[in-house]
Amino acid sequence: QLHLQESGPGLVKPSETLSLTCTVSGGSISSSSNYWGWIRQPPGKGLEWIGSIYYSGSTYYNPSLKSRVTISLDTSKSQFSLKLSSVTAADTAMYYCASVHSPWTDFQHWGQGTLVTVSS
- The contact set with other proteins (CB under 8 A) reads 46-49, 60, 62-64, 96, 98, 102-108, 110-113
59-76: b or e for each residue (b if 16 or more CB lie within 10 Å)?
bbbbeebeebbbbebeee
Our measurement of the distance from residue 52's CA atom to the centroid of its chain's CA atoms, rounded to an integer in Å, reads 8
Closest separation in Å from C-beta 22 to other proteins: 12
Residue type (1 letter), 47: L
SS3 120: coil
Minimum CB–partner distance for residue 39 and other proteins (Å): 8
Asked whether the beta carbons of 10 and 114 are under 8 A apart, the reply is yes
Q: For other proteins, which is the closer residue by CB, 75 or 115? A: 115
Q: Which is nearer to other proteins, 87 or 96 (CB)?
A: 96
Quote the least distance from Cβ 120 to other proteins, whole Å.
27
In whole angstroms, the minimum distance from the beta carbon of 78 to other proteins comes to: 19
Region at 12 (left for phi over 0; alpha for psi -120 to 50; beta for the rest): beta
Distance CA 65, CA 84 (A): 8
